[in-house]
């Protein structure tokens, strides 16, 4: 029963990934896409968490943390790029 | 290394010191030093003459590449003797002549180095028993000839002529090498003597005719046979001593030598007889007709050489009949005797004529028969020399050309009586063509004589004051014409000293051991058909010359160039432009085209392999269950990948690529690969950032926007590649199952803790079981990092070097 629930949760999360992806492609503006990418990252964290429960392992705990950091860094980098056209400042 | 080997190599060794002599002993003409060598060699070979004449041979061998059966075997028999005497004797005379012909201001060092290279190579060709060694020397003669033709390399015509002779003779030489390799295939040896001993193996082999034709191709190109004769007239741009030596007396006879040497191997067959006879006779006729049209003295002599070489070649073809078994009847082998005799005669009178023409050129500044005239009283000695040479060439008694021409006619008349080769009704053509060609030979000899020495002397035609040549220049041609007269009056001096041993060497298997051919050359045979034919030649040619002012206006007389040059010129330019066209067609410089070629080739190769070996298979055993959410994730992944080509916004494309990377990482987690997933995520994010960095540097104009174009060919290729690789993956999985291979991963799972002390099997494999790969991957990263730093920091200006 519990496994079925997890499966259902995974199913809906996949649908949410699809929807976020559609927003990434459609836009219409660049911030829309960046936010969608961020949302994909966070959804992935959820998916991986459920997969950990399903596979009865804690091997992916680091992955979850890394995705958390990377989604943040990626969003910052993209935002900075569309804000200034550059990622690293030069003095 | 015996003395004979050192003799062959001595010109090469001597060539090494010539530049020093030229540079440091500049007071004495370098030719005087060079002259000593061929003279010494000539005396050396003369000492062997009694030995060779008594039917013995000299053979010594040195190992060169024993593993390949290549021995440097020097072999001196009658045929080689004839050639080495010509090479060293005429070589010595030519060097003597060149001392007075070339002034000390010329680059004499180069000239004599090339000449010595040539002489050594020519000695090597005629003295080698090993086919490969023969081929090596053969190519050196081609090379030395090209160097000598382009001696005055600042002249365009010289380099063109050298290129032409090089291309034609080297092409023939390569064909000949192919023939030699086929002979080796048949007999397992490169030694000519051993091949002759196993001649029945060769003649029974299916490779017999190809080998023969390839060898003949080499001989025909070298000896300027029809239609490969076109290089010889253009080689006349060489200095006259070179023309006299290479292009009349020695190199162009290398093909003759090869044919004579190979007669015991290939002779007696139909193909050999007909090819040699027909090519020889056509060359004879064509060369003599073309010579009539020439206005340049050396042009006349060049085509005359072509025609005389054709004569010798046809005689060798006819003489090969002796090997069919009609040995008892001397009419079969008669032609070989004439070939050898005329070979010798031609070298003497043609050498003299070239030298005489060189003198005329040297003293008057022109070789054009339309400008020359009346030189008889101005240059009496040159006139006498030329008269004798021309009379011998035309075939007048009492000179040696007369004797060989009479013999030639009788040999050709004999062909009608041949029973072998189905000569039958075609037999009458042989003497007829020979007779017509002789008429033209007589005609151009008359033209050359009367237009140079008779007529009115016009001092205004010449740039300098015309006078007789210095005596040094005249010595060599005088010696040669003296030989012409001596051998014309006393031909039997040669009979058993040179001609009979040479004939014995060409036809070693015809006579029983210890017997000799009968060589009987007489001036007066009584009134017979040959004499009547000669009378006809003289009368008709004189009549034609008398009418010359009528047919001189014909277009065919006024066009000098051989029509076969058209083929050569067009082939050469066509080859160049054709290969340029092909290169332009495929080398577009566009990376996308090259990718298209690579992928198409891969598709064809893999597709053909699938079809050829019927390798396609699908097997669903050992596949895992697909979870419900995967039905959404996998289409999403595919959808994201398919979207990319249709995006027309770069940043969107980059973000979609990032999404794909994240989804791949998710797949890795589904398949339980945490380390890979972690790495994948990190790499994906870094790549994203680097893409963004690169975008900053895109040029303004095309920033942000791009529209993907639809290209049907590219679409088909990419779909094809995808389908093919999918099929390969499916099939290899299925075939792997079928073969029942087991994975080796169990070993790592069992031993990771026990042997390496780690629980993380992936990491244990990376740093322990397979640590070397990791080391080199680290190196790759280091090189990439250094490369990036170099690309960014190193800004060289033009001309600077790293």
Check residue B471 and give its pLDDT. Answer: 84
Check residue A87 and give its pLDDT. Answer: 63
B692/A87 CB distance under 8 A = yes
A63/B665 CB distance under 8 A = yes
* Inter-chain contacts counted by CB atoms under 8 A, chains A and B: 101
Chain B residues within 8 A of A48 when measuring between CB atoms: 666, 669
Model pLDDT for residues B43-69, shown as the tens digit of each residue: 998 988 888 888 788 888 888 888 888
The DSSP 8-state label assigned to residue B797 in this structure reads P
Interface test with B, best of A8, A11, A16, A25 (most B CBs within 10 A): A25
Which whole number is the average pLDDT over B128-151?
A: 91
Q: Nearest C-alpha of chain B: how many angstroms from A80?
A: 10
Q: Nearest C-alpha of chain B: how many angstroms from A24?
A: 7
Give yes or no for residue B673 having a pLDDT over 90: no
Check residue B701 and give its pLDDT. Answer: 47
Chain A residues within 8 A of B643 when measuring between CB atoms: 25
Q: How far is CA B491 from CA B90, B403, B404, B662, in A?
A: 19, 8, 10, 102
Q: Which of B276-290, B486-500, B543-557 has the highest mean pLDDT?
A: B276-290
Which whole number is the average pLDDT over B612-634?
A: 81
**Rounded to whole angstroms, how far apart are CA atoms B159 and B152?**
8
Average pLDDT, chain B: 85
Check residue B283 and give its pLDDT. Answer: 92
**Rounded to whole angstroms, how far apart are CA atoms B99 and B79?**
30
Percent of chain B residues past pLDDT 90, beyond the cut = 23
B636/A14 CB distance under 8 A = yes
| A contact residues 57-86, partner B, Cβ 8 Å cutoff | 57, 59-60, 62-63, 66-67, 70, 73-74, 77-78, 81-82, 85-86
Q: Nearest C-alpha of chain B: how many angstroms from A18?
A: 6
CB of B428 closer than 8 Å to CB of B416: yes
Which whole number is the average pLDDT over B419-444?
A: 81
Q: How far is CA B754 from CA B287, B552, B743, in A?
A: 92, 106, 20
H or E element in which residue B416 lies = none
Model pLDDT for residues B67-124, shown as the tens digit of each residue: 888 888 888 888 898 899 999 999 999 999 998 888 888 888 889 999 999 999 999 9
| B contact residues 667-686, partner A, Cβ 8 Å cutoff | 669-670, 672, 674, 677-678, 681-682, 685
Give the angle subtended at the CA of B650 by the CAs of B649 and B653, to the nearest 5°: 90
Which whole number is the average pLDDT over B18-40?
A: 88
**Rounded to whole angstroms, how far apart are CA atoms B97 and B479?**
11
Of B636, B649, B678, the CB nearest to A21: B636
Which whole number is the average pLDDT over B572-588?
A: 91
Which whole number is the average pLDDT over B12-20?
A: 90
Check residue B42 and give its pLDDT. Answer: 92
Which whole number is the average pLDDT over B223-249?
A: 87
Which whole number is the average pLDDT over B428-457?
A: 86
Q: Nearest C-alpha of chain B: how many angstroms from A17?
A: 8
Q: Of the candidates B470, B120, B440, which has an alpha carbon nearest to the alpha carbon of residue B292? A: B440
Q: In which band, very low, low, confident or very high, does the pLDDT at B325 lie, cut at 50, 70 and 90?
A: low
Token pair 């990252």 in the structure block, residue: A41
Which whole number is the average pLDDT over A35-44?
A: 88
Beta carbons within 8 Å of B294's beta carbon, 6+ residues apart: B233, B300, B302, B303, B444, B560
Of B632, B643, B681, the CB nearest to A25: B643
Give yes or no for residue B458 having a pLDDT over 60: yes
Check residue B397 and give its pLDDT. Answer: 78
Give yes or no for residue B179 having a pLDDT over 90: yes
Q: Nearest C-alpha of chain A: how many angstroms from B759?
A: 12
**Rounded to whole angstroms, how far apart are CA atoms B798 and B13?**
47
List residues bridging with B63 in a β-sheet: B71
Which whole number is the average pLDDT over B220-225?
A: 91
B658/A48 CB distance under 8 A = no
Q: What is the dihedral of CA B153, B156, B157, B158, to 10 degrees?
A: 10
Model pLDDT for residues B752-786, shown as the tens digit of each residue: 888 888 888 889 999 988 999 999 999 999 999 99
Q: What is the dihedral of CA B643, B645, B647, B649, to 10 degrees?
A: 140
Q: In which band, very low, low, confident or very high, does the pLDDT at B600 lie, cut at 50, 70 and 90?
A: very high
Check residue B395 and give its pLDDT. Answer: 85
Model pLDDT for residues B697-743, shown as the tens digit of each residue: 766 544 445 555 677 888 899 899 999 999 999 888 888 877 877 78
CB of A63 closer than 8 Å to CB of B669: yes
Q: In which band, very low, low, confident or very high, does the pLDDT at B422 lie, cut at 50, 70 and 90?
A: low
Give yes or no for residue A9 having a pLDDT over 60: yes
């Amino acid at each position: 029963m519990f496994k079925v629930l997890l499966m259902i949760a995974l199913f809906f999360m996949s649908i949410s990934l699809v929807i976020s992806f559609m927003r990434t492609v459609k836009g219409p503006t660049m911030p829309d896409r960046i936010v969608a990418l961020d949302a994909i990252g966070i959804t992935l964290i959820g998916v991986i968490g459920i997969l950990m429960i399903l596979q009865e392992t804690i091997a992916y705990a680091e992955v979850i943390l890394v995705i958390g950091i990377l989604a943040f860094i990626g969003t910052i980098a993209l935002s900075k790029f569309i804000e200034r056209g550059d990622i690293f400042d030069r003095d | 290394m015996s003395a004979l080997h050192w003799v062959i190599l001595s010109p090469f060794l001597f060539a090494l010191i010539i530049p020093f002599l030229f540079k440091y002993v500049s007071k004495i003409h370098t030719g005087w030093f060079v002259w000593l060598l061929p003279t010494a060699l000539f005396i050396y070979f003369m000492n062997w003459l009694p030995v060779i004449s008594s039917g013995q041979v000299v053979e010594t061998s040195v190992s060169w590449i024993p593993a390949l059966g290549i021995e440097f075997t020097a072999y001196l028999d009658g045929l080689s003797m004839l050639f080495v005497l010509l090479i060293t004797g005429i070589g010595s005379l030519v060097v003597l002549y060149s001392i007075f012909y070339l002034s000390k201001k010329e680059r004499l060092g180069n000239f004599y180095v090339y000449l010595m290279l040539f002489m050594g190579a020519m000695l090597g060709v005629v003295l080698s028993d090993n086919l490969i060694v023969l081929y090596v020397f053969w190519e050196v003669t081609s090379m030395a000839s090209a160097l000598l033709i382009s001696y005055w390399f600042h002249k365009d015509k010289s380099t063109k002529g050298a290129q032409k002779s090089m291309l034609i003779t080297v092409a023939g030489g390569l064909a000949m090498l192919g023939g030699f390799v086929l002979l080796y295939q048949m007999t397992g040896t490169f030694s000519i003597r051993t091949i002759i001993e196993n001649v029945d193996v060769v003649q029974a082999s299916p490779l017999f005719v190809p080998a023969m034709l390839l060898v003949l191709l080499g001989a025909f190109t070298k000896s300027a046979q029809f239609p490969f004769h076109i290089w010889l007239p253009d080689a006349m741009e060489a200095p006259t001593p070179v023309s006299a030596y290479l292009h009349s007396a020695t190199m162009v006879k290398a093909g003759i030598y090869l044919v004579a040497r190979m007669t015991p191997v290939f002779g007696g067959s139909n193909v050999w007889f007909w090819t040699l006879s027909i090519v020889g006779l056509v060359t004879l006729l064509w060369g003599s007709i073309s010579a009539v049209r020439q206005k340049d003295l050396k042009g006349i002599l060049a085509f005359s050489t072509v025609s005389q070489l054709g004569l010798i070649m046809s005689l060798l073809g006819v003489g090969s009949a002796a090997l069919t078994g009609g040995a008892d009847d001397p009419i079969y082998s008669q032609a070989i005797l004439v070939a050898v005799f005329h070979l010798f005669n031609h070298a003497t009178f043609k050498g003299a004529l070239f030298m005489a023409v060189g003198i005329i050129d040297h003293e008057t500044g022109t070789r054009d028969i339309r400008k020359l005239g009346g030189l008889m009283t101005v240059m009496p000695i040159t006139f006498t020399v030329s008269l004798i040479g021309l009379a011998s060439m035309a075939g007048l008694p009492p000179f040696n050309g007369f004797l060989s021409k009479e013999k030639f006619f009788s040999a050709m008349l004999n062909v009608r009586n041949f029973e072998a080769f189905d000569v039958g009704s075609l037999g009458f053509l042989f003497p007829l063509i020979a007779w017509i060609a002789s008429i033209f030979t007589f005609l151009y000899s008359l033209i050359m004589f009367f237009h140079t020495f008779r007529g009115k002397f016009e001092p205004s035609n010449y740039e300098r004051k015309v006078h007789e040549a210095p005596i040094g220049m005249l010595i060599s041609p005088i010696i040669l014409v003296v030989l012409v007269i001596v051998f014309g009056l006393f031909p039997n001096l040669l009979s058993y000293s040179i001609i009979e041993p040479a004939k014995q060497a060409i036809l070693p298997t015809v006579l029983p051991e210890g017997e000799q051919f009968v060589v009987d050359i007489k001036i007066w045979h009584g009134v017979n058909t040959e004499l009547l034919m000669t009378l006809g030649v003289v009368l008709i040619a004189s009549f034609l010359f008398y009418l010359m002012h009528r047919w001189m206006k014909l277009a065919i007389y006024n066009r000098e160039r051989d029509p076969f040059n058209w083929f050569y010129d067009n082939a050469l330019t066509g080859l160049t432009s054709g290969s340029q066209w092909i290169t332009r067609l495929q080398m577009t410089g566009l990376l996308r085209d090259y990718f298209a070629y690579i992928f198409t080739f891969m598709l064809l190769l893999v597709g053909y392999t699938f079809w050829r070996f019927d390798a396609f298979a699908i097997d669903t055993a050992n596949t895992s269950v697909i979870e419900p959410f995967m039905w959404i994730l996998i289409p999403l992944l595919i959808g994201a990948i398919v979207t990319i080509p249709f995006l027309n916004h770069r940043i969107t494309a980059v973000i979609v690529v990032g999404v794909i990377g994240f989804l791949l990482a998710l797949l890795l987690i589904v398949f339980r690969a945490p380390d890979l997933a972690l790495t994948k995520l990190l790499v994906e994010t870094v790549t994203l950032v680097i893409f963004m960095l690169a975008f900053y540097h895109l040029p303004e104009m095309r920033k942000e926007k791009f529209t993907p174009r639809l290209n049907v060919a590219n679409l088909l290729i990419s779909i094809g590649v995808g389908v093919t690789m999918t099929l390969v993956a499916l099939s290899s999985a299925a075939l792997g199952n079928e073969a029942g291979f087991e994975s080796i991963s169990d070993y790592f799972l069992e031993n990771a803790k026990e042997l390496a002390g780690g629980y993380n099997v992936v990491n244990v494999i990376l740093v322990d079981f397979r640590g070397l790969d990791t080391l080199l991957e680290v190196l790759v990263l280091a090189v990439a990092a250094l490369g990036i730093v170099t690309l960014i920091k190193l800004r060289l200006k033009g001309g600077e070097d790293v």
